[in-house]
Structure 1
């Protein structure tokens, strides 16, 4: 039985164009990925596209002796079929991506050994429990060819293995030295911050090709821990959510003159991402602060949620709601919004169902993920009267622990916006047992680190 590693790569990355040729470990990223995968003798093929800009990948790899095949930009499955056309059905193909340089031949072998023991035809590193950047998939050439014949959906062909996963019993694998905390110990190269982090990681080793993946991850874990506490996750949330999230109200504000320099905003956002904080929450008016914090270094690294002002006095509340969502997406650089929080009074008024219908339409289009409300004293909404609501929030100091407890008991995610409180007060609120997350607005990294220590 033969094994061949196929590494897909292109220059047209949406979040970090050209990353395949950016230097990591003294060589282009794609070359480093290929050399690390072939370190123990595996045959390696880089599968890139026939687009003219990907001529640069082929030209870079040709002198190194690393084999390159080219095919459709969007039909990546067809590239894998070409790369394995001379193999038998019972042979194995390993799928890697060109933005994961920490992955190496040792990790590939560990997964294949687990597959041999289990008897499965398809196996992958489980990135729900293993940091992103250590992704490996292994499957038979026969399964690949069956997918090539039967998969017709564009998504299946672009992402190579979804059809295979639906038609076989997969092995989900975590390597022995898995550090856990997938979001915190992320080791892929997807945005500019990822690149600087991973490049710095390899700078600490004399031989970037030979260093074991687990030694690299041990080094990364040490670097992250040296920065201070990391964020805790909320178990019941349907999507990843941490118990501490950011609010932009005070982020980056100078303690001396109330200015807000861009570097101060970016420092707080960078520390938040490194601590694994999942989300930032903003009003439409502050969307530009979100953009200043996330673009370009941290593009798509945090979910963005939106707190709306009361809409009931607007001439056309539903139209104004659409305007605020589109304004936030445009100015904040967010293609999607995790949660939109309506004012409770808007949901209770005559236009309430119309506003919920607008948000539901955005959810069906994949632009908004969750519907939420901001509670206020006197709000009479209950979990039974508002079944579409996923997230319920209140401002700290409104003494709404009782109503929040009712929503929490009904399985909804509950949060408090604590934009001006000190760490002691924030810690007290979280110990109530009915609050899942608290949104804080630290002015600087020092304040954020203090808050992480108590939540």
Structure 2
């Protein structure tokens, strides 16, 4: 099989400018990536742009005798096709990137063997399904398919990312030989300064960095990343950040953590595979504190879901343009505090804002989404009734609900949620799995404030279930109960100490209970008043 390796590189990266020229193992990053990719004999060409910003890159490549091609900066697909001039359609083309130095010739040969054996048009090793760290990536297709894509698609997304049109037409087969490694929550790309320092350290002292086996590098990466505390990514944990901005939770005595600790908590969570962070305009300084924690490139590694202001200061009789101004103020304040130009996802903090002001709030958000200021739209609801209302809006793609081991109210709604998922993309996150900490405390005065007349019965039942199912740990009982629900995509967990984070990460990796086990747990569950399940109705401390 005839093969051509094309390694994509440029110097105008925004988060770490000129990163491909940084030294790793005594040579520029892009040179090391090219040498490692070609160390079993396949020809490698670095495809870059003809812009003046890449003049120095080409000088470096020429100095190190690395073949390169200069083409369109913005149209990457055309750049690839132009670089293949004179190459027949049957050639297997391997797409690589200059900021990923782990892929070596042996790994690429494994993929090429699989590509030929399966007789597919595309084979990719990208993302979590591979079992490999983020940064061990490669894509293989035929030169003829790239030319076909060049002629058929005008989509900016297709042309920037090179292969989406091919995947859409021929299918996206995946290379999954390393799934058992479960290292998808590790990271070995170079996108930020932290990334660079980690990767550079792995190659320190090597006489022949281009020949270091990828397996050796993977083991070294494990040893280096001491903050990774889980054997599988904690991708169903949603980090709640209300505690970062205000005193939150009925059992909270610690107060708000300092910025340095928040930085550590957020970044450690991300390193362990946490993919979503939950915040809100109404959470005091949470957005501001979170924005600082996500600086220096960390925001690119996670998805922040924030919530619109409660709009308490918007007049009930406000005209549409006034409502729009209030909505835009909230959205752009969130952008400013989080340090981003657009919001990944935004939820209504109040479900009645779906229809309030004659639908003015939702209309204004839809316009901002259309402009690209907001990615996804969702609703944070308080009750099953509000959830059903939210589901009647087709543009709602995220639903956050309160749910815990005592909450019987959702039993009649789950089937509706599952049915909706058959027709659209719908993400379900649950909060209050510990009922704002109430389920973790034996203080009867706090249960009294939560309007629970049978607190003694509830506490005895919680202890009994914890003893029977998880070694007496009530917190694990409650978290594991939520995580075992197959209709739940993520559980929002707030915390304010490193110990809590590490504990939560550990629980995330525990095997879920079966449906029969869940039914057995709740068969004698004590009934509590609806007011107990709704913290908004609880008695205030000074009442």
TM range (shorter): 0.7 to 0.9
CA distance in 2, matches of 1:137, 1:329: 34
Partner of residue 427 from structure 1, selected from 476, 498, 504 = 476
Q: Matches of residues 366-381 of structure 1 in structure 2 within 5 Å? A: 366-376=372-382, 380-381=385-386
Q: Matches of residues 148-227 of structure 1 in structure 2 within 5 Å? A: 148-176=150-178, 179-182=181-184, 184-203=185-204, 207-224=208-225, 227=228
CA distance in 2, matches of 1:88, 1:348: 56
- Can you give the 5+ residue segments of structure 1 that lack an aligned partner in the other structure? 234-240
**8 Å CA contact retained: 1:231, 1:277:** no
Partner of 2:407: 401
- Is 1:438 equivalent to 2:443 in the alignment? no
- Is 1:323 equivalent to 2:329 in the alignment? yes
**8 Å CA contact retained: 1:373, 1:393:** yes
- The Cα RMSD (Å) is 3.4
Q: Normalising by the residue count of structure 2, what TM-score does the alignment of the two structures yield?
A: 0.72
- Per-residue deviation, 1:323: 1.3
Partner of 1:91: 91
Partner of 2:49: 49
Q: Matches of residues 5-16 of structure 1 in structure 2 within 5 Å? A: 5-16=5-16
Deviations 1:50-76 (CA, angstroms, capped at 9, x unpaired): 111211111112121111221111122
Helix, strand or coil at the partner of 1:99: coil
Distance change (3 Å), C-alpha of 1:370 and 1:427:
farther
- Per-residue deviation, 1:248: 4.9
- Per-residue deviation, 1:332: 0.5
CA distance in 1, matches of 2:272, 2:203: 21
Helix, strand or coil at the partner of 1:381: helix
Helix, strand or coil at the partner of 2:269: helix
Deviations 1:8-34 (CA, angstroms, capped at 9, x unpaired): 100111232211112222221101101
**8 Å CA contact retained: 2:245, 2:287:** no
Helix, strand or coil at the partner of 2:95: strand
Deviations 1:215-251 (CA, angstroms, capped at 9, x unpaired): 3223324544774236765xxxxxxx52342315238
Distance change (3 Å), C-alpha of 1:89 and 1:439:
closer
Distance change (3 Å), C-alpha of 1:72 and 1:391:
closer
Moved more, 69-78 or 142-151: 142-151
Helix, strand or coil at the partner of 1:276: coil
Q: Matches of residues 10-49 of structure 1 in structure 2 within 5 Å? A: 10-49=10-49
**8 Å CA contact retained: 2:4, 2:44:** yes
**8 Å CA contact retained: 1:245, 1:277:** yes
CA distance in 2, matches of 1:56, 1:70: 12
Helix, strand or coil at the partner of 1:454: helix
Partner of residue 245 from structure 1, selected from 234, 239, 250 = 239
CA distance in 1, matches of 2:309, 2:474: 26
CA distance in 2, matches of 1:8, 1:259: 45
Moved more, 442-451 or 198-207: 198-207
Distance change (3 Å), C-alpha of 1:113 and 1:247:
same
Q: Matches of residues 55-454 of structure 1 in structure 2 within 5 Å? A: 55-130=55-130, 131-176=133-178, 179-182=181-184, 184-203=185-204, 207-224=208-225, 227-229=228-230, 242-250=236-244, 261-284=258-281, 285-311=285-311, 313-315=313-315, 316-344=322-350, 346-347=352-353, 350-351=356-357, 353-376=359-382, 380-383=385-388, 386-388=391-393, 389-393=396-400, 401-409=407-415, 410-411=417-418, 413-417=428-432, 421=437, 426-433=475-482, 436-454=489-507
Helix, strand or coil at the partner of 1:292: helix
Which structure: larger Rg? 2
Partner of 2:318: none
Moved more, 97-106 or 284-293: 284-293
